[in-house]
Amino acid sequence: MGHLKMQMQTCLNPTEDEYKQCDAGYPNKTTIACMINGEIGAVLAVMRRNVRWGVHYMSDDDQSEHFLVQSLKTLRRQIFSWQNQWHTINPALYLQPFLDVIQSDETGAPITGVALSSVYKILTLDVIDQHTVNVGDTMHLVVDAVTSCRFEVTDPGSEEVVLMKILQVLLACVKGKASVMLSNQHICTIVNTSFRIVHQAGSKGELLQRIARYTMHELVRSIFSHLQNIDTTESAFINGSATLKQETSELNNEHALASRQLENGRLNSTHDAQPLSIGSATSTATDVTASLMDENTAIASSSNETDQYELQLMTEPYGVPCMVEIFHFLCSLLNVAEHMGVNPRSNTITFDEDVPLFALNLINSAIELGGSSFCRHPRLLSLIQDELFRNLMQFGLSMSPLVLSLVCSIVLNLYHHLRTELKLQLEAFFSCVILRLAQSKYGASYQQQEVVMEALVDFCRQKTFIVEMYANFDCDISCSNVFEDLANLLSKSAFPVNNPLSSIHVLALDGLIAVMQGMAERIGSRSLSSEQSPVNFEEYTPFWMERCDSFGDPNNWVPFVRQRKYIKRRLMIGADHFNRDVKKGLEFLQGTHLLPNKLDPQSVAYFLRYTAGLEKNLIGDFLGNHDEFCVQVLHEFARTFDFQDMTLATALRVFLETFRLPGESQKIHRVLEAFSERYYEQSPHILANKDAALVLSYSIILLNTDHHNVQVKKKMTEEDFIRNNRCINDGNDLPREFLSEIYHSICKNEIRTTPEPGFGFPEMTPSRWISLMHKSKKTAPFIVSDSRAYLDYDMFVLLSGPTIAAISVIFDNAENEEVCQTCMDGFLAIAKISAYYHLENVLDDLVVCLCKFITILDPFSVEDFVLAFGDDTKARIASETIFTIANRYGDYIRTGWKNILECILIFHKLGLLPTRLASDAADESQVTTETGLRRPNANSLSTHLQYITPKRSSGLISRFSQLLSLGAEEAQSIPTEEQLVAHQQATQAVHKCHIDNIFTESKFLQAESLMHLARALINAGAQHLIGSRISEDEDTSVFCLELLVAITLNNRDRVGLLWKGVYEHISNIVQSTVIPCALVERAIFGLLRICHRLLPYKENITDELLRSLQLVLKLDARVADAYYEQITQEVSRLVKANASHIRSQSGWRTISSLLSITARHLEASEVGFDALIFIMSDGAHLLPANYILCADVARQFAESRVGLVDRSIVALDLMANSVNCLEKWSINAKKAVKEEEVEKMLQDIGEMWFRLVQGLRKVCLDQREEVRNHALLSLQKCLTGAVGTHIPCELWLMCFDQVIFTVLDDLFEIAQAHSQKDYRNIEGTLVIAMTLLCKVFLQLLEELSQLEAFCKLWEGMLSRLEKCEKVKIRGRRSEKLQELVPELLKNTLLVMKSKGILVQSSGPGENSLWELTLLHMKNIVPALQSEVFPEQDSEQLLHQQIEPVESLGPDASISVPSNEKVGQDGAMIS
């Protein structure tokens, strides 16, 4: 039968066709009539089976029927005659006959069951809704009838069927559209009836039990689902009203009686007209429950104290009033343990967990559906805050895992919906339940610990849970550190100490990772600065006066809670000092400005009142001290309490909860006197004066000791207590009810005046709960955080260390790959947070923890290592995680690079890295062609370890190929399939690590991280210098060096950060190596490569880079000899590529030093000379900074006999041609603005020229004739070509003295001392030299003649001419020289005479120049005088003598070159 939809609209006119449907969509009249007719027939059919319901014949022959049958038949006759639509017909008309059957005690179970089915069918037809005529009264009739149902029991089965149908109808009433018309009282009655059936079903079949519980559950869900739609104004009507427990008598007195006494007839089966008692249930728990129902917890039980207004509320459409009653009833079901006198934690066998489980499930459903709407209704909220949570705290310690799990689920729902109203309750739950049960030292079973840990993990998965715990509790002075305690619990619970990994360890891991991942997800969503501004108190500020402007604005509450946390930390330290020495503790707090420099009673009182961790014994002794200051503190301490609206017993509980009452009577008196004064001050209603409060307080303390001390055998009775307190209220008696309430309160709940033994998490006692409830009224609001990371930095600093350690231990002990991967997810989250908050130390610790899982693998052979790594899932996962962290968060790794590098070196030794890892780490677009410089087996940057002697190939495939190919030569096992798989897994794992990215992306690393990475590489590479395993360490050192060079090249813009360390490392390698090896080769070429690549970009360190190349000069001779050809090639490339970037003299000095060495090296000389030609050819790269240096290198090449003579000739040409640069620079120098600059530049040019000719002078003495002669000609070119450079006369004098004269003197000596074999054709050399002398002298004659030293110069020249004319070669004079010298002298004298420099003197002493000339002329050619200075006309003589001079060409061996002639002024010009 389907549901028929109904809408509220005006129906059709009754005269219209009865088969038409109304506009509103209600069901067809005839259809409904037929359905009801069918139900009537069904009931009558069942009734006819019993003769009781047949036709009765009376004495007068009149026939009569039972009224139940008559009413049904009457309805059958009427239903087809009704003309109106069904929603306009009073439903009572067609429901009442069925209800009469249900209520009749004459019907049996089958008849009642069919009637209930008929009512259920009618209710579910959607005919009856809130718009139906008289629907409210009808629904009340239905509820009254069904809850008053009575029937005869024919068999147990039929009885259960009736009860199930009762539940079915009641549920339909609540779920139907007309349910809104039910009153609060009827909803209570329905729930009460349903619960009674639940209770009665305990002795029935399993099906009835399940259906009854299901119905109860659905009723609660349906009722509380409407809470969100109820207006808050409705709840105001019942604020402050007493518990509603009476049904209105006007409704149905008979129904009221039935609902109160289920076992006395109605809603019960009867047998032989006798009621069936519930007492047949034998369970103790069931009996107690029944008792509770009857006496305490029946929702609708009568009460004479209920006023008329409350009765009126119960008759209104249902809402908050019935929900309050139902919720209170559900909570009261949890009090069954108290009534039983059995602790539910003591024995889970004797205590039936069925009732609390049932109640907790219903409560959980109510909270799930009511949600945050409970906050809008104070009475419901009050029930949750006090009664419900108190019971949850009690059942939270249950030994039953089911109960405990359900309690935790409820608290999680409460946290989600109502945490703003349950701050202290949540703190108590975590401290007294979660933290207690999670530790076995408190006697919790493994199942309890597991359930609690699961619940804690669920809490941790809430996005804001951890933040709110920290902000509300850890940063609240008066609360415990819930966050720290939970974090410590999770981290400690994750440690499998001497035990295999269990579910609790994994759960703790899940909790830690949930916390970390929550923080990681919040990264980037912050609106406030992560920088924690330092909190400091420069002066005293009362810490208890700190207030937050707005707990809803993070800009206000975040700084506030941080400040409170700072205060709390200081207070905790102060408490620690206080517990050891009261005086020192107070002094410490004065030093931190939390107490004033001069102590006042109020500040000390607040410190004692609100500081957690203080020894309660010490507080009590301090407060009870007779010292005047302590007495003042005591009274200030009492004033911190608010005893308003508290009974004296409650106030005393709250007061004594904060300290331990001292043992001395005088101290007790002082403490109780201060308490009594404060209590009377705030509650003067019953007590006449403070003395009455003092006496009664004493009496309460005595009662508490008497009743709860096991050593007291005879306990004080209530009458004794009342009698002991007579006439204490200013001579009058206190009300008996007042004293009786105090007596029962103390007897029921002890006031504990001694602290609990041991430390840790206390149990929630009734006294402590009372104190908590009063404290909750004045506690700070609960801070609700959003998904932004306001306090994550503070929490992470506390949590990171223990979390890393815990995850590491779990990972170490885990066997399941899923658990291992979970650990890695946690590590990645920690790394992300550490990097975000720049916590380098945390990240380094994380890296160290991870790397140990790789470095711990240390098998005997390399192949075993590869197999071990390939088979070890944890090692592979750890590897991938390590390098993921390194690649993502390398900016914040510091010392951790050392451990990461150890892992890289392991993979390198295993041959698992790419063969060109380090080279690829540099920019491939700029890699120089170094392959020709590398040795065949040494060029691989992943140089592998040896099996025995030979180096291994780099790749895994080639290694296996080698392994297989050796099978014919030596017996060697073929790799198994497992080994191949292991190798493949190892390779794939390393490939996933992307190790090369660390170095290729190093240019993006932060400076400090980059420096640590470089330092790690340097330290790892330096081990071979002090280690004993030379071959292995050298391989490692080469690899590290290559990586170091790679990151240096990649960081050319920041090379200054790395250069010092890189240079020192290479320098150590070079200076400590005495034999050729791969390491020193890589060091030298790496250095050259760095210089080559960086010179174009880093002009500021060009000199430093080039200076570093001087290390090459420090190479051991054997090492240098082995590599100098390649070194020279690199230097040549460097020069050709970067000559324009080298500007300084120091840089060129290094280059020249390197090139000069090549002049003496056979293999390297050609390349070196090529570089020199590149620099000096056409003066392209000659600079004032390198001129002298290059000239010197060219001289060395000219002198070198390693190469051919042609190379020396070319070198001399380079020197000779370089004088053009000097002339060009001289011209440019004259354009300088400042005169002093011009002078300085010309002076420098002169110095360069002089150094050039000095260099040529040395080559002029070469043994090789061609070189020697060409050097003289080059010297002549440099001397004669220097006219345009404006060389100063003083420098020319030095040139004659130190260059020209010296060359001649040395040549004369060589000619006389050496054989022709050593110096071939020395005679020709002297001819060239003498010609050079005279030519240069005549060219500079005019300038030199003006000098004072000209006479000395002339004398030197004459003496060389004389010496040359007389020199003996091979023991005899040279004819060529004897012919040349007179001609040269004659030409010179003629020019000097023509210029008026040499004038004939008429007498001795008048002209020293003439006398000097005459003296030497006589020694050389005596006849020359008459020829040069005859008595004839001087001009004629001059013309006759000049002609032979002009005929001398450059090729003449004894003549002046032909390109010289006498000018008009008589000077020689070329």
Express each pLDDT in 907-959 by its tens digit: 888 888 887 775 555 554 444 434 333 333 333 333 333 322 333 333 443 44
DSSP, res 1023? G
- Percent of the chain residues past pLDDT 70, beyond the cut: 80
Find the angle CA(1376)-CA(1377)-CA(1382) to the nearest 5 degrees: 110
Question: Which residue has 């295993």 as its token pair?
Answer: 910
pLDDT score of 1452 more than 70: no
Hey, which of 936-945, 1022-1031, 1084-1093 has the most confident mean pLDDT? Answer: 1084-1093
Question: Which residue has 């509320």 as its token pair?
Answer: 313
Q: Do residues 94 and 38 touch, judged by C-beta distance below 8 A?
A: no
Region of 60 (left: φ > 0; alpha: ψ -120 to 50; beta: rest) is alpha
- Give the separation between CA 363 and CA 216, rounded to whole angstroms: 11
Closest CA to 847 of 879, 806, 802, 811: 879
| Tokens read off for 954 | 């780099």
pLDDT score of 253 more than 80: no
Residue 1205 has a CB neighbour count (10 Å cut-off) of 15
Q: Do residues 1179 and 1217 touch, judged by C-beta distance below 8 A?
A: yes
pLDDT category, 307, cuts 50, 70, 90?
low
pLDDT score of 292 more than 80: no
pLDDT (mean) for 507-514: 93
Per the annotation, the verdict on 421 as an active-site residue is no
Within 13 Å of residue 1010, how many CA atoms lie on the same side as its CB? 25
pLDDT category, 532, cuts 50, 70, 90?
low
Segment holding 690, helix H or strand E: helix 690-708
pLDDT of amino acid 922: 55
Give 341's contacts (C-beta < 8 A, 6+ positions apart).
none
- Give the separation between CA 197 and CA 1196, rounded to whole angstroms: 120
| pTM, 2 dp | 0.77
Q: At what angle do helices 862-871 and 977-993 cross, to 10 degrees?
A: 80
Candidate from 478-487, 710-719, 1254-1263 with smallest mean pLDDT: 710-719
pLDDT of amino acid 735: 86
Handedness of CA 1137, 1139, 1140, 1141 (dihedral sign): positive
pLDDT of amino acid 453: 93
pLDDT (mean) for 233-243: 41
pLDDT of amino acid 692: 87
Give 1437's contacts (C-beta < 8 A, 6+ positions apart).
1428, 1430
Segment holding 274, helix H or strand E: strand 274-275
- Give the separation between CA 123 and CA 138, rounded to whole angstroms: 11
Residue 754 has a CB neighbour count (10 Å cut-off) of 10
Closest CA to 804 of 504, 532, 487: 487
Q: 888-904 pLDDT, tens per residue?
A: 999 999 999 999 999 99
pLDDT category, 1045, cuts 50, 70, 90?
very high
More confident residue, 88 or 466: 466
- Percent of the chain residues past pLDDT 90, beyond the cut: 20
pLDDT category, 528, cuts 50, 70, 90?
low
Residue 1242 has a CB neighbour count (10 Å cut-off) of 19
- Give the separation between CA 882 and CA 983, rounded to whole angstroms: 20
Of the listed 16, 664, 924, 1406, which one is catalytic?
Answer: 664
Segment holding 466, helix H or strand E: helix 465-469
Region of 1466 (left: φ > 0; alpha: ψ -120 to 50; beta: rest) is left
More confident residue, 1017 or 1022: 1017
pLDDT of amino acid 256: 33
Residue 582 has a CB neighbour count (10 Å cut-off) of 16
Residue count of the chain: 1470
Hey, which of 367-376, 534-543, 920-929 has the most confident mean pLDDT? Answer: 367-376
Report the DSSP pairing between strands 268-271 and 150-152.
Answer: parallel
Find the angle CA(382)-CA(388)-CA(391) to the nearest 5 degrees: 145
Which contacts of 715-718 are long-range, i.e. CB under 8 A and separated by 24 or more positions? 718/743, 718/744
More confident residue, 872 or 300: 872
Q: 1334-1375 pLDDT, tens per residue?
A: 888 888 888 888 888 888 888 888 888 888 888 887 777 778
pLDDT of amino acid 267: 46
Q: What are phi and psi of 592, to 5 degrees?
A: -95, 10
pLDDT score of 190 more than 90: yes
- Give the separation between CA 135 and CA 182, rounded to whole angstroms: 9
- Give the separation between CA 854 and CA 1331, rounded to whole angstroms: 83
Question: Which residue has 């089966």 as its token pair?
Answer: 269
pLDDT score of 641 more than 60: yes
Type of residue numbered 1368:
K
More confident residue, 18 or 725: 725
Q: What are phi and psi of 448, to 5 degrees?
A: -60, -45
Type of residue numbered 658:
T
pLDDT score of 1149 more than 50: yes
Closest CA to 313 of 379, 214, 234, 420: 234
| Tokens read off for 1440 | 């006759």
| Tokens read off for 810 | 């779990």
Q: Write the DSSP assignment of 696-725 as a string of letters.
A: HHHHHHHHHHHHH-TT--SPPPHHHHHHHT
pLDDT score of 634 more than 80: yes
Cross-strand pairs, 1469: 1461
Residue 943 has a CB neighbour count (10 Å cut-off) of 22
Q: Do residues 1105 and 1056 touch, judged by C-beta distance below 8 A?
A: no
3-state helix vs strand vs coil in the chain, percent to 5: 65, 0, 30
Give 1107's contacts (C-beta < 8 A, 6+ positions apart).
1146, 1147, 1150
More confident residue, 462 or 757: 462
Q: 655-702 pLDDT, tens per residue?
A: 888 888 888 888 888 899 999 988 888 887 788 888 888 888 888 888
pLDDT of amino acid 1281: 81
pLDDT score of 1466 more than 80: no
Q: 391-437 pLDDT, tens per residue?
A: 999 888 888 899 999 999 999 999 999 999 999 999 999 999 999 88
- Give the separation between CA 1234 and CA 1231, rounded to whole angstroms: 9
pLDDT (mean) for 638-663: 86
| Tokens read off for 276 | 């069936």
pLDDT of amino acid 1144: 83
Residue 777 buriedness (CB in 10 A; 0-12 / 13-18 / 19+): exposed
pLDDT category, 1402, cuts 50, 70, 90?
low
Closest CA to 915 of 979, 996, 980: 996
Give 1040's contacts (C-beta < 8 A, 6+ positions apart).
901, 905, 1017, 1018, 1020, 1021
Cross-strand pairs, 1368: 1373
Residue 1086 has a CB neighbour count (10 Å cut-off) of 24
Type of residue numbered 1107:
R
pLDDT category, 26, cuts 50, 70, 90?
low
Residue 1330 buriedness (CB in 10 A; 0-12 / 13-18 / 19+): buried
pLDDT of amino acid 966: 42
Q: Is 1345 helix (H, G, I), strand (E, B) or coil?
A: helix
Average pLDDT score, the chain: 78
Q: 1237-1253 pLDDT, tens per residue?
A: 788 888 888 888 889 88
| Tokens read off for 450 | 């597991």
Q: 815-866 pLDDT, tens per residue?
A: 888 999 999 999 999 999 999 999 999 999 999 999 988 887 665 566 777 8
Q: What are phi and psi of 1315, to 5 degrees?
A: -85, 165
- Give the separation between CA 268 and CA 149, rounded to whole angstroms: 8
| Tokens read off for 1433 | 């006309």
pLDDT of amino acid 948: 27
Give 1291's contacts (C-beta < 8 A, 6+ positions apart).
1246, 1249, 1250
Cross-strand pairs, 1461: 1469
Type of residue numbered 1177:
S
pLDDT score of 202 more than 90: no
